[in-house]
Amino acid sequence: MVSIGVTVQEYVKHRDVVEKKEEKLEKKKTDWLRPPGALAEAQFLETCTNCGECVDVCPYGSIRLLEEDETPVIDPEEIPCYLCDDFPCIAACEPEALRPVGAIQEIDMGVAVVSQRLCTSGQGCNACVAKCPTHAIEMDFSSMAIGVDGGRCVGCGICEHICKTVNDHVAIKVIPANLRALS
């Protein structure tokens, strides 16, 4: 009888380990952004040499190498792109996976989307509005709701980072350009 109990106990222990590993695989982060000036995803992956030069020159530490393939990414919840005036990341990219931009408005890392259900703008929060470098986020005081002008949003993630900093829930997320193309 003890033998059956030990067998069941071992089975449950190993089953739980497998389930936990599967959970970790499912929660793999995919909502990272490519740096400013990045080519379309397929072309970017063909062109990027994984040299890390863009990472080295980023003054804010916003760009890091993705663990899986060592390509450069930005995680706006951690450190957004602060849209440097001279874009040192683009200048450092010799293979030209990051192409020069004439103005901030030409950048397309993604677009911010607000979850009105999670947003606390109805309680007076509008921290993201003041921090948006392209003025793409606006507060509609008649409805006490935050809105995003998709034509002006470049997907830098500053709003997402601010929202995470001042609230319990992140109500504004940037949909990366590479994922937006799939939807």
d(CA 124, CA 106): 32
In this prediction, residues 107-126 reach a mean pLDDT of 94
Confidence tier at 179 by pLDDT (50, 70, 90): confident
Residue 47 to residues 44, 66, 154, Cα–Cα distance (Å): 5, 16, 22
Q: Is the confidence at residue 21, as pLDDT, over 90?
A: no
pTM for the whole structure: 0.81
Q: How many CB atoms lie within 10 A of CB 93?
A: 24
Instruction: List Cβ neighbours of 129 (8 Å cut-off, separation of 6 or more).
Output: 137, 138, 139, 146
Q: Count H helices, E strands: the chain?
A: 7, 6
In this prediction, residues 87-102 reach a mean pLDDT of 96
Q: What integer best gives the mean pLDDT of the chain? A: 88
What is the pLDDT, as a whole number, of residue 33?
96
Segment 29-43, tens digit of pLDDT: 778 999 999 999 999
**β 110-114/137-140 pair status:** unpaired
Which position has the token pair 């909502």? 31
Segment 4-17, tens digit of pLDDT: 655 556 666 666 66
Segment 146-156, tens digit of pLDDT: 999 999 999 99
The domains of the chain are located at 29-180
DSSP-derived 3-state class of residue 78: coil
Structure tokens at 22: 């599967």
Structure tokens at 153: 């949003």
Question: Which parts of the chain fold into alpha helices (H)?
Answer: 2-26, 41-47, 53-57, 88-92, 127-131, 158-166, 177-180
Structure tokens at 107: 């950048």
Instruction: List Cβ neighbours of 76 (8 Å cut-off, separation of 6 or more).
Output: 33, 156, 157, 158, 160, 161, 174
Q: Is the confidence at residue 50, as pLDDT, over 70?
A: yes
In this prediction, residues 95-107 reach a mean pLDDT of 95
What is the pLDDT, as a whole number, of residue 84?
95
Percent of the chain topping pLDDT 90: 74
Confidence tier at 25 by pLDDT (50, 70, 90): very low
